[in-house]
Amino acid sequence: MFGQNLDVQLSSARTKDTTVVWKSFHDSITLIVLSSENTSELRLERLLHVVFGAMVLLVGLEELTNIRNVERLKKELRASYHLIDSFLGNSDLIGDLTQCVDCVVPPEGSVLQEALSGFAEAVGTAFASLVVSGRMVAATESWWRLGTPEAILLPWLVGSLPPQAARDYPVYLPHGSPTVPHRLLTLTLLPGLELCLLCGPHPPLSQLDPQLLERWWQPLLDPLRACVPLGPRALPAGFPLHTDILGLLLLHLELKRCIFTVEPSGDKEPSLEQRRYLLRSFYTLVTSMHFPPEPGQQEEKVDDVAHQAQVPRACYLVSGTEEPGTGWRLMALQLGPRCLLLLLSAQSPIHGLRSLATHTLHALTPLL
């Protein structure tokens, strides 16, 4: 506030062991986050944006910008607490940081996509998706065109809610419809796998009776079952990955989608929780220090070809002890709209990291 009075913009501060980041939204709500875990400012800034998005998603922008009764607003915001808590915990998802939708790769994606589009047309909505553990399995074209942050928040919300056979949930779209609510209908097809519909007053939830669901989805029971274990794994069983790979993050920066998994060689060190932490930290470092955060952003800033050629496309980091031959390897490679981050075992030779990353990226390219 002191800086604002002097026309000075101050958005963060650091002490010896704490980072503080704050941001004001619509000159109405100011969010402040403190971290004592040496968290980067980029991570905390994106956390504030996704938290405000969650508040708009469940309360609406009008209630947040035109506050008539503070106590009433506090009560309404309780609906967003569980979703916000999931951002602060050790989530299996990464869309809050990457600003890309977490996806999985189903074995029979085209079959599920065709059925989903047909079902959406039958019930009278253009917005439909299949979600497993907060990750997108398939979606209609209109659903994929949802803006940020709702494209990230809607599946995350579904994954954070307690299991329920069916829901009729009012939601606002922070980008597309922040003041007029829509209805999010969810139907559990299998434990952990939910069918989601975004619609207006119609259809009523009662119209989506078990007979309708059975007619459309019973013939696809085996492909649907194959999706359930994809929650943490993301990739189909048997997908060929090098044995040194302990985790990966694949981003398509134009489509705003990503695949994130730390399941490969899950019986090896480090733990799954530490793998997630390492890849999240490496992504933050790579995005803030080396690669442009958005496709084309760097290219817009430089005109001469010689300078463009200097834009980095690969980098690596060794995390751990300084002894030769030890420490987890972290490798990042960007080719066109895709960016791949790998966590590799300490036995992986440093001189072969780029070749391994290039081969892996080419193998993953058809999936995303």
The 10s digit of each residue's pLDDT in 216-252 is 999 999 999 999 999 889 998 889 999 999 999 999 9
Return d(Cα 174, Cα 60) in angstroms, integer.
Answer: 8
Is the CB of residue 135 less than 8 Å from the CB of residue 155?
A: yes
Return d(Cα 218, Cα 115) in angstroms, integer.
Answer: 11
Residues 6+ apart with CB under 8 A from 106: 112, 137, 138, 223, 226, 227, 230, 236
Residue 57, pLDDT > 80, answer: yes
> Mutual orientation of helices 70-88 and 150-160 as an angle, nearest 10°?
80
89 band by pLDDT with thresholds 50, 70 and 90: confident
Is the CB of residue 56 less than 8 Å from the CB of residue 172?
A: yes
- Can you give the three-state secondary structure of 245-307, one letter per residue? EEEEEEEECCCCEEEEECCCCCCCCCCHHHHHHHHHHHHHHHHHHCCCCCCCHHHHHCCCHHH
pTM for the full model?
A: 0.90
Alpha carbon of 129 to those of 6, 175, 182, 232: distances in Å? 49, 19, 15, 18
Residue 16, pLDDT > 80, answer: yes
Q: In what order do the strands lie in the sheet with 177-190?
A: 135-139, 127-132, 193-199, 177-190, 166-173
User: What are all long-range contacts of 181-186, with beta carbons under 8 Å and residues at least 24 apart?
Assistant: 181/60, 184/154, 184/157, 184/158, 186/158, 186/161
Least confident of 131-140, 240-249, 285-294: 285-294
- Among 361, 79, 122, 87, CA closest to 241: 361
- Among 56, 39, 300, 89, CA closest to 170: 56
**DSSP-derived secondary structure for 191-239:** TTEEEEEEESS-S-GGGS-HHHHHHHHGGGHHHHHHHTTHHHH-SPTT-
Segment 142-170 shows an average pLDDT of 94
pLDDT tens digits along 311-364: 778 999 998 766 666 789 999 999 999 999 999 999 999 999 999 999 999 999
102 band by pLDDT with thresholds 50, 70 and 90: very high
